[in-house]
């Protein structure tokens, strides 16, 4: 293949992959999760997910990030059984467990929120990292009797620039 054609194909592929995602439909073993990622966010490649999340062996099923990939939205599905009725008790358990698993974690807010017709656990926390602090907005609910989680995160310094997009995206969370 001539070099000029190869360059054009590479540029076309890069442009297609960098198109922001307007709506995401994510299939899980127990149903479909849908949401609208923040404006300008694109899906991370498998290699990017491995590099960012592969250390603990529990990778999200999908991740979306801003252009620099410093701010991300990750979606996880778990075999953990969970129903709407169990959310209050599960919220309490997460409030006790997360600070033990993550030294230095501080909750900014924790509550049950209704999005659409569904209850979601909302846990807003700040955690220290190696060279900065990270702000996490975690949403947890059930999907077909199992846990679905969405984690919006950004550095504390970048969070004010991402907050409105995170909140708008969170208002679109839905399961089928």
Tens-digit pLDDT profile for residues 34-80: 999 999 999 999 999 998 887 766 799 999 999 999 999 999 999 99
CATH number of 19-175: 3.40.1000.10
3-state secondary structure at position 7: helix
Q: What is the pLDDT of residue 94?
A: 97
* Cα separation values, 131 from 71, 72, 96, 157, Å: 15, 18, 26, 12
Condensed to tens digits (0 to 9), the pLDDT of residues 128-142 reads 988 899 999 999 999
Which phi and psi angles does 24 have, rounded to 5°?
-120, 125
Per-residue pLDDT band at 166 (split at 50, 70, 90): very high
The structural domains of the chain, with segments of one domain joined by +, span 19-175
Backbone angles phi, psi at 29, to 5 degrees: -60, -20
Task: State the Cα–Cα distance between residues 16 and 18, nearest whole angstrom.
Answer: 5
pLDDT in tens, 7-23: 444 433 433 344 445 68
Residue 152 pLDDT exceeds 60: yes
Instruction: Describe the chain by its helix, strand, coil percentages, rounded to 5.
Output: 30, 40, 30
Share of the chain above pLDDT 90, in %: 77
Pairwise CA distance, residues 110 & 138, whole Å: 9
What distance in Å separates the CA atoms of residue 60 and residue 77, rounded to the nearest whole number?
7
Q: Chain-wide mean pLDDT for the chain?
A: 88
Query: For the segment 79-120, what is each residue's pLDDT rounded down to a tens digit?
Result: 999 999 999 999 999 999 999 999 999 999 999 999 988 999
* Phi, psi (rounded to 5 degrees) for 102: -125, 90
* CA distances to 26, 40, 166 from 72, in Å: 16, 11, 10
């Amino acid at each position: 293949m001539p070099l000029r054609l190869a360059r054009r194909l590479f540029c076309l592929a890069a442009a297609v992959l960098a198109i922001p995602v307007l709506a995401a439909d994510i299939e899980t073993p127990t149903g479909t999760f849908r949401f609208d990622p923040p404006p300008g966010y694109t899906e991370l490649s498998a290699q990017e997910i491995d590099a960012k999340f592969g250390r603990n062996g529990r990778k999200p099923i999908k991740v979306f990030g801003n252009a620099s990939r410093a701010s991300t939205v990750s979606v996880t599905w778990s075999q953990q059984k969970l129903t709407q009725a169990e959310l209050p008790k599960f919220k309490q358990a997460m409030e006790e467990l997360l600070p033990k698993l993550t030294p230095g974690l501080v909750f900014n807010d924790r509550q049950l929120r209704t999005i659409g017709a569904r209850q979601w656990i909302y846990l807003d926390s700040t955690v220290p990292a190696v060279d900065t602090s990270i702000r996490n907005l975690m949403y947890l609910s059930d999907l077909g009797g199992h846990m679905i989680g969405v984690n919006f995160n950004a550095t504390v310094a970048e969070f004010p620039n991402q907050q409105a997009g995170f909140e708008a995206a969170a208002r679109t969370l839905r399961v089928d």
